[in-house]
Structure 1
Amino acid sequence: MTDYIIESCNKDNIKTIVDGINEYNLSKVSALAKIWTRLEFVIKDENGTEIGGVLAGIGYWNGLEIKILWVKETHRKKGIGTKLLEYTENIAKEKGAYISMIDTFDFRAEDFYLKNGYNSIGEIKDFPKGHRRIYFSKTLHE
């Protein structure tokens, strides 16, 4: 029997892991894009204060992956989130994305994504305790 050691990653280990999964994935399905295209935007008010932002990107299969979309609580329900989302989706479409993906929680933005044309494709019940984590997707049309 072989003994194995598990230890914390350093930057070289992380690169090996990412390169390994990418090599495997691309051996099964060819890439449509060569690199991760970052789509990261901030929105500011008339005073230059940051009131929201989005951290997203397009992967090698031309899917828009939204990691974080945030609007300052005092500025919610004013269309700012929709403006950020639409802006990001439009840039993604220009760059060849045809689908968008995001996850959120029932206490955050479930209704927001439904209102903006996203479909719930799955959820984890009771995570965090007493809540749901919800996964959404949306086909981006030209």
Structure 2
Amino acid sequence: MVWCMFRIETEVDKARRDLLRSRLLDTNTAASPVLAALRGTPAERELPLHVWALEESEELAGGLVGHTWTTWLHVTYLWVAERHRGSGLGSRLLAEAERIAHQNRGCRSARLETWDFQAPEFYKKQGYEVVCVIPDYPPGITEYTLTKRLS
């Protein structure tokens, strides 16, 4: 057995973060034939996918921030300015991200997280299904994970 001294640090250390991520990826790749097959291919990399809606004045009307990885689109943020809500802008932003992910990047599925006071019903109307519910995350709020098959 190897013994060592531990030092707990809480600051952001990007070099260590990257080293940890690399070592975790190595461990995961060794344990999973699916991940091993992806190693070194373009699908292994996370690629940013951002879709913006700008007004004529160049002011932000809405946007979607996410990324693609393997055959998945992960929507991280989707926001529409108050004055544009109900206009279909959110649906158009989401549809455009799904189109790019599916047609240009070979994604077959999409996933996202939302809270109960945000937009679970909106996403259900767009064809997403709830696959995970985490009550009290944060306290008093429920978080939902939703997925959708892209076609």
TM-score (norm 2): 0.86
CA-to-aligned-CA distance 1:31-60 (integer Å, 9 cap, x gap): 26142111012111233211111111111x
User: Which residue of 51, 65, 87 corresponds with 2:96?
Assistant: 87
| Pairing of 1:22-101 with structure 2 (within 5 A) | 22-27=25-30, 28=32, 29=35, 30-31=37-38, 33-59=43-69, 61-94=70-103, 95-101=105-111
Q: Is the 8 A contact 2:51 2:96 kept in 1?
A: no
Q: Which runs of 5+ in 2 are unaligned?
A: none
- Percent identical among aligned pairs is 28
Counterpart for residue 2 of structure 1:
4
- Specify the alignment match of 2:114 in structure 1: 104
- TM-score, normalised relative to structure 1: 0.91
Say yes or no: does 1:17 pair with 2:20. Answer: yes
Report the Cα distance in structure 2 between the residues aligned to 1:46 and 1:26, rounded to whole angstroms: 47
The worse-fitting range, judged by mean Cα deviation, of 98-107 and 29-38 is 29-38
Mapping for residues 100-139 of structure 1, pairs under 5 Å: 100-139=110-149
Q: Over alpha carbons, which structure has the higher Rg?
A: 2
Tell me, which stretches of 5 or more residues in structure 1 are unaligned? none
Question: How many equivalent pairs are there?
Answer: 140
Counterpart residue type for residue 57 of structure 1? H
Structural RMSD (CA): 1.5
